[in-house]
Each structure stands twice: as C-alpha cells, then as structure tokens.
Amino acid sequence: MSRIATVAVGCVLAAAFLAGCHKKEEPRTPAAGGGDTVKIAFMGALTGDVAMFGKPTLEGMKMAAEEINAGGGVLGRKIEIVEADNRGDKQEGAALAQKFVSRDNVVAILGDPTTGISKVVAPIAQKAQVVMLSAGATGPGVVEIGDYIFRDTLLDSVAMPALVDYLVKNLKFTRFALVTSDNNDYSFGLSQTFRDAIKGKNVRIVADEKIKDGDKDFSAQVTNIKAMKPDAIFFSGYYTEGALLMKEARKQGIKAPMVGGDGISASTFLELGGDAVEGSIAYLGFSPEQATGETATFVANYKKRTGELPEMFGAQGYDGVKILAAAMKRASSIDPKVFRTALAQTRNFPGVSGTVTIRPNREPVKSPLCVLEVKGGKYVLKTKVPVKMD
C-alpha cells in the first residue's frame, strides 16, 4: 500500500509541476498582468546625442505620475513608470519595446521623442495591442502604422502653415535656402512639409542643398547658398549639423538667419554655434514664457524639481501621462484594447503644452505655436501664433 501511495503522490506532484510549467508559458496581457500598478513605459534616450530630448520627457512623465498617484491613482491603481535607455539607437529601441510588451507587461509606451525610433517601435506596440503615444515625434508616417499609435505633439503638418504665414507676413521672408539631411527621417519629412506649406504663397526655394548627419564640412553647400542671397536658411535637421552650418555661413559672410523645428531647439545648438546662431528661429509646441494657469504651476514645479525651466519634451511627457490616465478613467479600464477608444476621443484636453484634440486619424491638433529666437545665447519667446483647431 505504501508503494502505491508513493506512486500516487508522485503523479500528483508531477501533474502540478507540468501545470505550473504550462502556466508560465502562457502569454501575459497588459490588463491581466499589471498587478497593483498601471505600467507606462518610457521610450527614449538617457545617454547619447538625443538624450536632451529623452531626459526631460522622462522627468515630465514622472512628475505627472506622482501627481496622479497623490490623488488616488487611476481606477485605484498607482501609475508606475518603467524606464530604460535606448541610447538613441533604433535596434535598442526595438529590443526595449519587445521587453516592455512581453515581459514588463506595460499598458502603454510613451515615446520615442524622435520620428525615426517611433517608426521602429510602433509596429511592435501595434502587434502587441499596446498603446504607443509619442511625445515628440513630429514627422510623417508614425500613426499610419496602426490604430494603437497616437501622438500628443504639435505636428509639423499642422504648425508649418502657421509658421510660413508668420515668416512671410511678419518677417517678410520670401526667399529661402532649404537644407536637408538626407539620412535623417525627421529632416527628410520636415523638408517635404515645408515644400507643401509654401505652395500657393509668394515664396521661393532659391537653393536646395543636401547634407548628412555626421558631416562636418559644409563649405560647398554654403557657397551655393551665398550665391542665391536668401532671406533665411530653412534647416530641417538636428542641432549639431545646424550649428556647424551656421558657423560656416557666418564665416562666408551670410547674414540670413536659420529657421528650423524642434531639432535645433537644444542647448548644444547654442553652445556649439555661439555667436553664429544668434537670430536663429525655431518653432515649438511649448514655451515656458508667458505661462498662465496650470502651465505656470507646471513650470514652477519642474524648475523646483530639476533646477531648469521645462522645454517642449518635458511638457509633452507630462501631458502624455495625463492624457493616458484621463482616457483610462473615461473608459473605466486599464486594458489598452478598451481605453484606446477613449484616447481617440480626446477633445480639448487642457494640457500644459497647449490645448490638445485627437482627430479621427489619431493625430493631435494643438494650439498655440510658439516661435522662439536666439538672443544673448538662449532661446526666448518671439511670439505665439494661433493654430486652427479644425
């Protein structure tokens, strides 16, 4: 009898072991595996050339999560920010995205601030049916990847017409040199957006030059630009090449200012360019100057927390978490299959980076547009331009 009992016990233990193994192999879903927290992943760089985009995004996200948690959290759960450093590398971004959706069990990925990495991460989030909301990518071809992909940043396609109108009507710029970094997704897309925005207006591209990220010598391009005497140089790339380009332009005697997007809104642009970038103009979806209401409170709290004034990425990281939390509350669910519908219905959300409405294509419309100018070695607010919210 004891032998039979021993065999029986062994069978029960073996069955339990096999059941346990089987359970571990079952895929986890964000709604079921989150435990007592709502996990939102940060996707961005904390080291490397684009860390100046990622670091403030993460700070803004943490601020928003702490405020929401202090108020009771989301549907009785605390928000947990899952962070990692993709170093501005597409392959690392893809690997982290896989980890976030398969092992960390996140319900949403907030980021990447750049268009290129966002395009790599979006298909992974879409396949896993996890919401991705970029708080910085402004180039085309992101939300088109799938119905779980969103943004909360002021898009170039929305901002550019308002910017061009301001440049033409207020600054009387009608002759532009266009410079594109043709190995940069953001730059390539922004240049096309600029071309589209000037159609039908009294604007000419008098020089159309190409460079590459990583180039150091721009003497040939600047020589061509100088011969055409533009009113301004529209540069669609990032801060390092922009600063070096302007140093060469000033060396050759060009007085026209540079105009660009958030790619040149960085401390490195100011530090590397020095006097050569004075007068440069960048357009953004946020400025801490002239802040009122909740935005003023955010600016004060961010400065107290970090010792610095917030820039666009910090504000949009903050808004991104708040927008996601609001959608979960409206949907009464932390399951992305459920709350993504509420997220798509976001209307006139009072963000610190502007009023946000998500259109049917999951793209945001935001107002106002902030036009910044380099004065005395720093960016200062030149004007705010209203953006059509239809």
CA-nearest of 265, 138, 133, 114 to 193 is 138
> Using an 8 Å Cβ cutoff, are 224 and 196 in contact?
no
Checking if the pLDDT of 21 tops 50, the result is no
Q: Is the pLDDT of residue 13 over 50?
A: no
pLDDT digits (tens, 9 = 90+) for 271-308: 999 999 999 999 998 999 989 999 999 999 999 999 99
* Helix, strand or coil, per DSSP, at residue 319: helix
Q: What is the mean pLDDT of residues 223-231?
A: 98
Strand partners, 379: 374
Which of the four pLDDT bands, split at 50, 70 and 90, describes residue 185? confident
Which of 18-32, 34-48, 101-115, 355-369 tops mean pLDDT? 101-115
More confident residue, 359 or 13: 359
Residue 18 predicted with pLDDT over 80: no
pLDDT at 238 over 70: yes
* Residues 122-131, mean pLDDT to the nearest whole number: 98
Does the pLDDT value for residue 252 go beyond 90?
A: yes
Average pLDDT value for residue range 43-50: 94
| Band (103; pLDDT cuts 50, 70, 90) | very high
Query: Hey, do 31-154+290-358 and 157-284+372-385 end up sharing a CATH topology, with the first three levels equal?
Result: yes
The answer on pLDDT for 261 being more than 80 is: yes
User: How do the domains of the chain map onto residue ranges?
Assistant: 31-154+290-358, 157-284+372-385
Q: Above 80 in pLDDT, residue 8?
A: no
Please check the confidence at residue 14 and state whether its pLDDT lies above 70.
no
- Domain 157-284+372-385 part of CATH 3.90.740.10: no
Q: What is the mean pLDDT of residues 71-75?
A: 97
Q: Residue 24: what pLDDT?
A: 38
Token readout for 216 is 């150091």
Q: Among 54-58, 238-242, 367-371, which is the least confidently predicted range?
A: 367-371
> What is the mean predicted confidence (pLDDT) over 195-221?
97
Strand partners, 40: 81, 108
Q: Return the pLDDT at 198.
A: 97
Partnered with residue 233 across adjacent β-strands are 177, 258
CA distances to 136, 169, 185, 254, 330 from 61, rounded to whole Å, are 13, 38, 25, 41, 20
DSSP code string of 90-134: HHHHHHHHHHHHHTS--SEEEE-SSHHHHHHHHHHHHHHT-EEEE
- Least confident piece of the model among 102-106, 154-158, 297-301: 154-158
Specify the CATH superfamily of domain 31-154+290-358: Response regulator (3.40.50.2300)
pLDDT of residue 390: 66
pLDDT (0 to 100) of residue 9: 41
Q: Mean pLDDT across the chain, nearest whole number? A: 91
